[in-house]
Amino acid sequence: MLEIKNLHVKLEEEDKQILKGVNLTVEAGKVHAIMGPNGSGKSTLSYVLSGRDGYEVTEGSATLEGEDLLEAEPEERAAAGLFLAFQYPVEIPGVGNMTFLRTALNAQRKARGEDEISATDFLKLVREKAKTLKIDAEMLKRPVNVGFSGGEKKRNEILQMAVLEPKMCILDETDSGLDVDAMKLVSDGVNALRDEGRGFLVITHYQRLLDHIKPDVVHIMANGRIIKTGGPELALEVEKNGYADILAEEA
Amino acid sequence: MQSPKVALRARKDEATEARLATLTLPETGGWLDGLRADALSRVRAMALPGPRDEYWKWTRPETLISPEVTPAALFHDDEPPMFDEVDRLKIVFTAGKFDAEASDDFALEGLTIERLAEAGATDLHWARDLYGTLETNGQTPVERPLAALNTAFATDGVLIRVTGKVSKPVSLIYRRESEASEAILHHVVKVEQGGEMTLLENGPAAARFNKVLEVEVADEATFHHVRTQARDHERRAVTHIFARLGRESVFKSFTVTMNGVLTRNDCVIELTGDDAVAHVAGAALGDGDFHHDDTVFVTHDAVNCESRQVFKKVLRNGAVGVFQGKILVKEGAQKTDGYQISQSLLLDDDSQFLAKPELEIYADDVACSHGSTSGAIDETALFYLRSRGVPTDQATNLLTLAFLAEALDEIDSEELSGLILARLEGWLERRRG
């Protein structure tokens, strides 16, 4: 599904190398988790994959189902099936949540040569998905993320994911700022989307999210590279001993 | 030797006389003649605006006062005329002249309509006390000589007296026919106590259009005004609204401007009765050779009144937007709630927004706020939309409409705001890139 090879990335503004040769393959139907200390390059990886400005790929490649991602515009990547759940979802005053969702869905369908969804079908689709995430009609009417609590913003990200049905989902610290109940809601939302044809890359600091979204593979990232890969037990090890042991092992 | 100030005034007088030489006082007769003569004296006393005038610092008045009209190529619209879908009473002016054939009968319950050109003959006309009166009041503390010029030389217009709640809008439609046309129209609206009406305006009128609207909103009366100045690329327009509000009255005016090489819209509002509400708002979208100036002056002279000024401008390819807005709270106008916001969205580095927000307050128990901002499309929001699959152009349009939303919200009627939104969307789609 997602294949990252020897990815080197530096910041455009300053000559600072952030990713120093990331290799990672996420297969369809699998959930991969990336853990790592602050500044290890986890979020940069998610931004580079989704096409945010300000980063320069100096070496390596990233493909989604064999198609090059790095040369594509962000909207093309989305239409190809890539989705990033933001660590800090953006507030857009003046744009209603429903308008936003419908515009996004129809833009993707159009890009893939499909018909636009009818207003009725769309409403039905959103209502159904919103219900399981406990997103009420009021939240759907409000401008995108404006005045939303931290938990509401993250639920709104998962709603978008549920409506857009991407092939490859990247969750960037989706657990940050969530209380226990919100984490459960968000995790349930993600788990409901787990599917044979869909890949997940879950980026997190803490193991606790992985109690809810059980990963197949866990990677430890440090200093711009993946330094260790293992099963779910690796996350438990981090939880118990912190990153120090693993980092020392590598050094 | 002349002082620089005297020389400056002499140049203004010269320009004024050159302009006046091209105009003849219309013979509308009766009471109007005296009012026109008074207005002409006001024009001479003030002289037409010059580039050194404080309120013409950012908008060059030359083409608005020149003896000759700068020709403007006729623009052929591919959209149906604005407000076509609305159930309304149509009054059409073609090339500045009333077009009886294209207009509806002036019959609508709750109001009477007359033409300015025919009203002079009626001796005890209600409009006698208003025509040029609100304009004269509006000349202090800031002079507006082009409005006085209008009062003197207006060839026609409508006089509307509202005595009840009117069931559908009165719609003024301005059509133009030639490249070097000029139109000077003057309307007076008097909404009597408890009356209610909506006035619509659209169309380019002329290559150069000078229009004045005087509105008296009596106690507990309501006046809604929605106008579009749209899609006629080379036309020039100077317009003035003078409004006086009585107790518990409501005045709401919204203007959308798309294109037009030069537009100067003055709005002068005086809240003279307690608990009155005045909202004036505008959305202007300019691309390229576009200069748009909103100059607003709101005076609070009563207790517990509310005023809002909401002006948004979308500018690209070197378009220029100007906002000069003032809230004056007079002594004793306690509990005033005054709000003013002027914002521009600059879609490139060549466009420009110039703003002068002013507050002058002589009462101690008031809440007044004003803000003015100038910014580009929010890159973070743009990326967020793109990351969800919305292409850059479409995302930019969505964010542009979001920027305009606060101004559009000032239109009470959903039908009208829907129609205007559709035009804005159309403009954004067409003028992309």
CB–CB contact A75 B392 (8 Å): yes
* ipTM field: 0.95
Residues B127-152: tens digit of each pLDDT = 999 999 999 999 999 999 999 999 99
Note the pLDDT of residue A185. 86
Pairwise CA distance, residues A101 & A107, whole Å:
10
Given CB atoms, is A75 within the 8 Å cutoff of chain B? yes
Respond yes or no on whether the N-terminal peptide bond of residue A89 is cis (omega within 30° of 0): no
A237 versus B295: which is more confidently predicted? B295
Chain B contact set for A79 (CB, 8 A): 389
Tokens of A221: 């990232």
Chain B contact set for A50 (CB, 8 A): 387
Note the pLDDT of residue B1. 63
Nearest CA in chain A to B405: A94
Note the pLDDT of residue B312. 98
Question: Cβ contacts of residue A201 below 8 Å, gap of 6+?
Answer: A2, A24, A26, A32, A33, A34, A46, A168, A169, A170, A171
| Helix (H), strand (E) at residue A6 | strand A2-11
**Mind telling me how many Å the CA of A102 is from chain B's nearest CA?**
10
Given CB atoms, is A117 within the 8 Å cutoff of chain B? no
Note the pLDDT of residue B24. 95
Phi–psi pair at B126, nearest 5 degrees: -60, -30
Res. B431 pLDDT band, cuts 50 70 90: low
Tokens of B20: 């006046």
Note the pLDDT of residue A243. 83
Average pLDDT, rounded, for chain B: 95
Pairwise CA distance, residues A77 & A170, whole Å:
12
Please answer whether residues B427 and B285 qualify as being in contact, where contact means their C-beta atoms are separated by less than 8 angstroms.
yes
Note the pLDDT of residue B195. 98
Chain B contact set for A170 (CB, 8 A): none
Question: Cβ contacts of residue A174 below 8 Å, gap of 6+?
Answer: A85, A87, A154, A157, A158, A186, A190, A202, A204, A209
Q: Which of B378, B385, B387 sits opposite A50 (nearest CB)?
A: B387
Note the pLDDT of residue B433. 37
Note the pLDDT of residue B28. 85
Compute the average pLDDT of residues B230-235.
86
Residue B432 has pLDDT above 80, yes or no: no
CB–CB contact B402 A94 (8 Å): yes
Q: pLDDT of chain A along its 251 residues, tens only?
A: 999 999 999 998 888 899 999 999 999 999 999 998 888 999 999 999 999 999 999 999 999 999 999 999 999 999 999 999 999 999 999 999 999 999 999 999 999 999 999 999 999 999 999 988 888 888 888 999 999 988 889 999 999 999 999 999 999 988 888 888 888 888 988 899 999 999 999 999 888 888 889 999 999 999 999 999 999 998 888 888 888 878 887 66
Note the pLDDT of residue A251. 61
Residue B310 has pLDDT above 50, yes or no: yes
Please report the residues numbered 124 through 153 in chain A whose beta carbons come closer than 8 angstroms to any beta carbon of chain B: 143
Beta bridge partners of residue A11, listed in sequence order:
A55
